Structure 1
Amino acid sequence: MDTRQDIAPPCAPPGTTEDAKPSSGVVHINSRHTTDFTVIGNHLSRHRALSLVAIGLAVHIQSLPAGARIGIKRLAERFPESETRIAAALRELEAAGYLHRSRVRLADGRVVTRTVSRNRPDTAQAAPSHPRPPARPPEPTAALPVPLEPAPAPEPPPSPPHLPAVCVPAPTARTTPPPPVPRPAAETPELLRAAGALLADLRRLSPQLVLPERDIAILAPGVATWLERDAHPDTIRHALTADLPVPLRHPAKLLRHRITALLPPPLPGAHDLARPQRPGAIVIPLQNCDRCDRAFRSRHPGHCRDCRAEAPAAA
């Protein structure tokens, strides 16, 4: 009776986990999340009708806290996709039932867009239909009017009217050609060389302003125009590097806009600062006195008033 008899091993032999790994395809190495995670259903991650951009955007929206802003422009600043692709992805999510947007008028009169994100659209669509069957169980089917079933359907129609209003400005802003880069009156090689050196040196002040040679050649005439108009190099550097947006995705486009929009006017010359004469005014020229060489105004040369007064006294 004292002899121990083991009928089954206490645990599986080592190496069974490694043997279960597939020889090809994806291999998952999963770690358990205890904080800062979002549960996403496979009906979304494996959706066959949604694009990858729409699926990724839905995952990002579901991970945000309540009250976060998810406008098209804000999402375009956060991700490398354009506003047009983000707007198309939002429309996909609306069509699939993961997203619902509507226009709401606040108490102060402002009209805002209210966005409702659903992590599972089938449960959200089935929710309005559950309270209705228990409400009228004894009534015959003829007493249940057919139009009552699609009663919740009028909620989605308000979304299509406001979609074009949000998406139209983006293509308009992108298709408008940018203004031409200003060019100096005297485009000398020395002036262009100094302008190119100033543009290439901007990365020392702001590391995100690293420009390729092609963009420097395009923007150099604009900076040369600033230098031609006696703008100090430090003034140009401050105008081009102050208050940069974060993140900066298109440094060349930003510099092109600032070079064109902030271009100072030419310095006025001496003839521009002269006092303008009234039309029809008679200007009497200056003469030098033949005796004392004092300047006086007269139409004819001769003596000044003091010398003319002393002449009779001397006689």
Structure 2
Amino acid sequence: MDTQQNTALTRALAEIPGPLPARGVIHIAIPHTDRFTVVGNHLAQHPDLSCTAVGIAVRIQSLPQGVEVGIKALAARCREGEKRIAAALRELEACGYLRRVRDRLPSGRFITRTVFCNQPTALLRPRQTASPRRPAVAATHQAPGPAPGPAEELTAAPAPAPDPAPDPAPTPASPSPSPSPSPSPSPSPSPSPEPDMPEPPPVPPPPSFVTPLPPLFVPLVPNPTAPKPPPPPLPRPAEATPELDRAATALLSDLRRHTPEFTLSEADIRQLAPGVAAWLERAAHPDAIRRTLTTDLPHPLRRPALLLKHRLTALLPPPLPGVHDLAAPARPRVTVTPFQTCDGCDRVFRSPTPGHCRDCREHRAHRGDDTRTAAA
């Protein structure tokens, strides 16, 4: 009775038209009505992408625009680690689905924008600006246009003729030689009923279908609008002494001997000396400070002083604990009652002083009561 049977799946299989395949997967396709993402088979069945890369691509494609999709942000959303996610992003970047663009803000700060294209092969095909049939259609509409134009002009020209025609109409017999040219306007009244009909509107010139081509790949990530907090200040020693300042200045000046990229100016050394003095005050060894500041450098290194300021602030070690902080807490001493041997029965019992055990004391007390009772 406790075995659950999935009758819905059985009913869905029964509703599939046609015979079921003997092997392989059987699809039950239920159309989605909300919360779905269209993924092409070129991505789902890509021969050069791993399953992790395909899954990461589908996850990125399903996220709304503007969501952070860096390595750490994806690691917080997915169950894969940062190394697997980084490798998957490199695969997508190599196949053209992902692109990282360095952009410079108006403030001068550089940011990295991540652009994802769901169909990168479409960007390589030429864009169709206009269909070749549309100019032909416009030409066909334009070709009959000029034909009625002159006809309308010819019709409009004789149209005012009937208006002055009534003036010579009452005197056709008085001038005998003049009627010879008059028959020429006589057929003009024939088009007189045409002005009653609505004239076709003038055909506008064909529109220009030549439009500027849009760029192939436009990043649609909006600029960040939330204000960022100011950077933390450079650490300073609790007690600034000439010895600490001299040692910090010497350490910063000596960095160029070990790493030529850190050839600092005097102004930079004076600005960074309090941060190094704070490290020295916390008992940090100069070699450890030099190794922390000069290892794992970005390439190319454009602003060495700014990198040193960041590392001196973000990697500041805590002060060393004192001797009393490292000492283990004293445990409370427990007094142990020693063992004693009973003088009456040689039984072992715990007591601070030698004597008799509890049974012997009770027996001696009971015997003493009996003796006093007999004496009484």
Query: How does the TM-score come out when normalised to structure 1?
Result: 0.44
| Structure with more of its chain in helix, by fraction | 1
Q: Which of the two has higher C-alpha Rg?
A: 2
